[in-house]
Structure 1
Amino acid sequence: MQNQLANGPATNTSRDKKPAYRPRTAIIGAGAAGMMQAIKLREAGLDNLVIYEKANEVGGTWRENRYPGIACDVPAHHYNYSFEHNPGWSHRLALGPEIQSYMIRIADKYDLRRDIVFGAKVTKADFDGQQWHLEMSNGQRDTVDFLIAATGPLHVPAFPDIEGIHSFKGTKFHTAEWLDGIDLSEKRVGIIGSGSTGTQAISAIANQGVNLKAFIRTPQWVFPLPNRRFGKTERAIVRAFPFIGRMAGSFYGWFFERVFAEAVIKEGWQRKFLSAMCKWHLGRVKDPVLREKLTPTDEPLCKRMVMSTLFYPAVARPNVEIVRDGIVRATEKGLLDESGHLHELDVIIFATGFHARAYHRPIELTNARGESLTEVWKKQTGAHLSVHVPGFPNFMLVGGPHSPRGNFSAIAYSEAIVDHIVKIIRYCADNGFHSIEARPEAMAQFRERVLSAVPKTIWNTGCKNWYLDEKGMPENWTGTPDEYRDILRDPNYQEFNLAT
């Protein structure tokens, strides 16, 4: 095996020429990113692929999250594949079941199921110097040239560390593991968490008249974006003239990338506008005691912005109580707070999000030197361009460390990564490279670029959120979405070690 650096112009990159070999690619996850990756690989002639999916249906997060009130917090017409716009969205912010239906239609239209192995959770992946050897939960094994983790950054539910929680004799579950068919009427329900999931679930359950206690340790700023239902005539017009929906998607894309994204990374009118809107929205809460309970201590945009006009009216209902005192421990009857009050409950719902830095885990991933990626990342989490990890050739992530994860479409930024990965694999196939690995110095330069912009971001104001690592540094992209797309568009092969 010969190691070398690519020289670019002398290589074969034309699809009209026969590739040097036909690589096999495995994609982990049949969610939005994994399915898009398969479609794009096929279009590039790289159709020797397989998707391993742990569940029995496509959809990823939209399959697993089925709690009441679930909706996307990015406008629907901006939450599509660029090549497969959906003109039939029913709301400005698409509802979860509607997005899942869209994902199923994509799988069927592009005949993706023939390449998906359902009920096959990848548990182990070992690289031997040229290929990855995979083991699945169903006992299946496979050997592939390239391995792509499209598991998404938010897929492992996080639970709060509450003393005695296992002694609680009622029903308890995470919003990502919703109990289908559960009847909450006549129940005393406690919801822990106030992020996007918590506010959506609280709003929906409160309006059912349930006796609800919302345990909110750190209130969040809520941007007043109404989830307007599109009328029948409006939807019919968009179906008849799809370009209208695409224009709406372009507008929302501009708004979220030029306003929300830029407000996070630099001072300016965008930050002032969003801050003023959030504070105005909170000021509309009439009860001063309730308003005080709902007032965050950090600046707007420190955390991922919550989008809702339903939350504040919902928690003002007489059947809802906001509990700000921290939870000390659980008993068999309920939750004891710091004031010494025992909140007796029948149901506890954890709206506590996910392990934000799970990435490929819990898959055990090992390189040819016997190093596990989990152990390597204990020293420092990172990936060049958020995609490639030095020391782990032919392995790529969609949504890895320092990818954009703010208030804009995950599908939009994933498409840029997916296109980049297709170019990488096509380049290797055309030129006979069986191994490609990011150089450590390239990743160091990328990381320096990301971290050098931190002083201008809102995260430098003392924020605490799931974007930050153990050292308080953001694992998010700190530039604009356009800048991120630019660095991915044309891979610089001088930043990689290549082997034939």
Structure 2
Amino acid sequence: MTPRQVHVAVIGAGIAGMQFTRDLTRRGISHTVYERGHEVGGTWRENTYPGLFIDVPVSLYQLSFARKYDWSHAFPRGTEIQEYLVRASHEHDLRRHIRFGVEVLAATWVADHWELELSDGTTEVADAVVSATGFLDKPSMPAIPGMDGFAGLSFHSSNWPAGLDVAGKRIGVVGTGSSGIQLTTSLSSMGSQVTQFVRSPQWVEVITNPPAPRWLKAVGRLLGARVPAVGRLVWKRLLGGPQLDPRLWRSIQWRIQPGPDRVAAQDALREDVLHIRDEDLRARMTPDFEPGCKRIPKSDRYFEAVQQPNVRVAVGAIDRVVPAGLVTADGELHELDVIVYATGYDSHAYMRPMKVTGLRGRTIDEAWADGPYAYRCVSVPDFPNFWVVNGPFAPVANISPTICVVDQSDYVCRLVEYGAEHGVATAPTAEAAERFVAAIDEAMPNTIWAGDCDSWYRAGDRVVLWPWDEATYHAMFVPLGLDDLELVPLPVAVP
């Protein structure tokens, strides 16, 4: 059989989309990347708020084909991450495959291919679709009465206005996830009066994040890529010293299995709260749920910041927004000039609101009516040749997303090549997906994320994460697993 000539549509030019376009190119697979923005970078392009930094060690958060060894910090600022991604897109000639300023609004399986409805009013055709939109793409806004009536400036943290001068202003930060903690910390030293509204206190890992020595950056820049052993030593030195508590970073086992390592890790987080000297504030800022149940933000100055005279922490629910500010459940009015909703993202939207329609007219909303799920974290029954990068159950809480995407990209590329050679499109069978989900559910109670807390790791009653270690994750993608797949016949290619 003559191999079919296939074309792949990749949606999104963040880190995942960049990995896919590089791998597809190296394999000679025709493809187009559709990016709604006008630059690569995804969340790093969109987020520009003060104090933004990556809270994953940067040695674990890099493109597999564009290693960098002269970072300014172990946890660099968001601007440095974005500059790195833009530079990589040029140096590795990724941009020639990217259509900037074009959003995919809908994808529909028609007979033997996908039809894409684009924001510019045109329609394109693809044999396969890779949704690389990320799991932190759609900002989540709270539903607080009166939000539209606020007399000052209000916005989601991902929409920070360019040039906003906060000096002398009364700033309200709503939220205690990573963005809320980073914003509160940064604003505390920018001449603002800051009130952080804390519905639920958060366990925060205290780190140190000093600048990398100039000599280390020079060695990394000159030798890191050419001499792998030197590169590893540079990264090790960058993360050396007291920057990370070994009880939290010795291994990921404490997150997935109970035992002494979990006890030690949780003790480390409880000790971090002791950085708050005031006993009353410390009591109000101590969570009532098990350490590790939610994602753990990191900061080098947060607990110091909330003890500054220009920072106030309002613990409890917000009742309503009024023109002058926020009214908390105790009836107190907090007068504000600016409200920043650092309330995160809809982590289970994935590609939505893009409408996806698969076999027999089944939509992704219908498939996920009882909650999102995916076979091998990337594919859904009835959606042939459609893959969701870092989809439901991906190990985004215990393995760096940039590491996760390497295995997913290789797996998808091999499936595309298999389909082209054998004249089929592939999708997991319902039975295979059910077995995969059942295994996840059976293992999840051992994990730290199964605790009693309100976490974005959950979709309803289910924790949508990977409950095993990194080696198990890598091993899953080695075989194609054809016995688990529905092979949808395609028209025979004409020589």
Determine if the TM-score, normalized by the shorter chain, exceeds 0.5. Answer: yes
Equivalent in the alignment of 2:377: 386
Which stretch of the first structure deviates more once superposed, 234-243 or 293-302?
Answer: 234-243
1:341-391, Cα deviation, whole Å (9 max, x unpaired): 100100000110000101110101112312211122113421110111101
Closer/same/farther in 2, CA of residues 67 and 260 from structure 1, 3 Å limit: farther
- Which of 12, 18, 38 aligns to 2:21? It is 38
Correspondences of 1:24-173 after superposition (within 5 Å): 24-46=7-29, 48-173=30-155
The two structures, once aligned, show a CA RMSD in angstroms of: 1.8
Contact 1:78 1:248 in 2 (8 A): no
Deviation at 1:260, TM superposition (A): 5.7
Q: Which residue does 2:437 correspond to in 1?
A: 447
Structure 2 Cα separation of the partners of residues 257 and 377 of structure 1: 34
Render the CA deviation track for 1:71-126: whole Å, top value 9, x for unaligned. Answer: 11111122112232101210011210111011111111122221111111110111
- 1:253-332 correspondence runs (5 A): 259=250, 261-332=252-323
| CA 1:258–1:222: 2 relative to 1, 3 Å | closer
SS in 1 for 2:360: coil
Match of 1:378, SS state, is: coil
Given the superposition, is the C-alpha separation of residues 260 and 463 from structure 1 closer, same or farther in structure 2, using an over 3 Å criterion? farther
Aligned residues: 479
Match for 1:400: what amino acid? G
CA contact (8 A) 1:384 1:442 kept: yes
Match of 1:182 in 2: 164
Q: Distance in 2 between matches of 1:315 and 1:241?
A: 41
Deviation at 1:241, TM superposition (A): 2.6
Q: In the TM superposition, what is the alpha-carbon distance from 1:43 to its structure 2 partner?
A: 1.0
Alignment partners' CA distance in 1, 2:256 and 2:236: 21
Shift of 1:268: 2.4
Deviation at 1:222, TM superposition (A): 1.1
Counterpart AA for 1:287: D
How far off is 1:257 after superposition? 10
* C-alpha distance 129-270 of structure 1, shift in aligned 2 (>3 A): farther
Correspondence for 2:403 = 412
Task: Name the SS for the 1:185 alignment partner.
Answer: coil
Deviation sequence 1:406-453 (CA, Å, 0-9, x none): 1542101111111111111111122332x1111111111111111111
**8 Å CA contact retained: 1:261, 1:406:** no
User: Counterpart amino acid of 1:245?
Assistant: G
CA distance in 2: counterparts of 1:227 and 1:448, whole angstroms:
41
TM-score normalised by L of structure 2: 0.93
- Maintained 8 Å contact 2:293/2:450: no
Contact 1:126 1:366 in 2 (8 A): yes
Shift of residue 275 of structure 1? 1.1
> What do residues 206-244 of structure 1 show as CA deviations (whole Å, max 9, x unaligned)?
111310000011111111221221011121122233133
Instruction: Report if aligned partners of 2:176, 2:198 keep a CA contact under 8 Å in 1.
Output: yes
Q: 1:64 to 1:111 in 2, by over 3 A?
A: same
| Corresponding residue number in structure 2 for 1:334 | 325
Aligned to 2:472: 483
Say if 2:399 and 2:470, in contact at 8 Å, map to a contact too. no
TM-score normalised according to structure 1 size? 0.92
- Alpha-carbon deviation of 1:271? 1.5
Counterpart in the other structure of 2:5: 22
* Preserved contact between residue 159 and residue 352 of structure 1 (Cα < 8 Å): yes
For the 8 Å contact 2:450–2:463, the answer to whether it is kept is no
Equivalent pairs: percent with the same residue? 34
Deviation string, structure 1 residues 164-200 (Cα, Å, up to 9, x no partner): 1111010001111111100111111100001111111
Kept in 2: contact 1:383–1:401 (CA 8 A): yes
Tell me how far apart the structure 1 counterparts of residues 340 and 431 of structure 2 sit (CA, whole Å): 45
Q: Which residue of 2 aligns with 1:4?
A: none
Corresponding residue SS for 2:462: coil
Deviations 1:312-347 (A, max 9, x none): 001110000000021000101110111111001000
Choose the corresponding residue for 2:207, options 225, 231, 238: 225
Find the counterpart in structure 1 of residue 493 from structure 2. Answer: none
Pair 1:259–1:375, CA change in 2 (3 A): farther
CA separation of 1:396 and 1:249: change in aligned 2, threshold 3 A? farther
Do 2:276 and 2:282's aligned partners in 1 also have CA atoms closer than 8 Å? yes
Matched residues in 1 for 2:8 and 2:89: separation? 18
Aligned partners of 1:23 and 1:144 also within 8 Å: yes
Quote the offset at 1:299 in angstroms: 1.1
Give CA-to-partner distance per residue, 1:289-315, whole Å, 9 cap, x none. 111121011111101111112100011
Contact 2:69 2:234 in 1 (8 A): no
Counterparts in 2 of 1:249 and 1:262: CA distance versus 1, 3 Å = farther
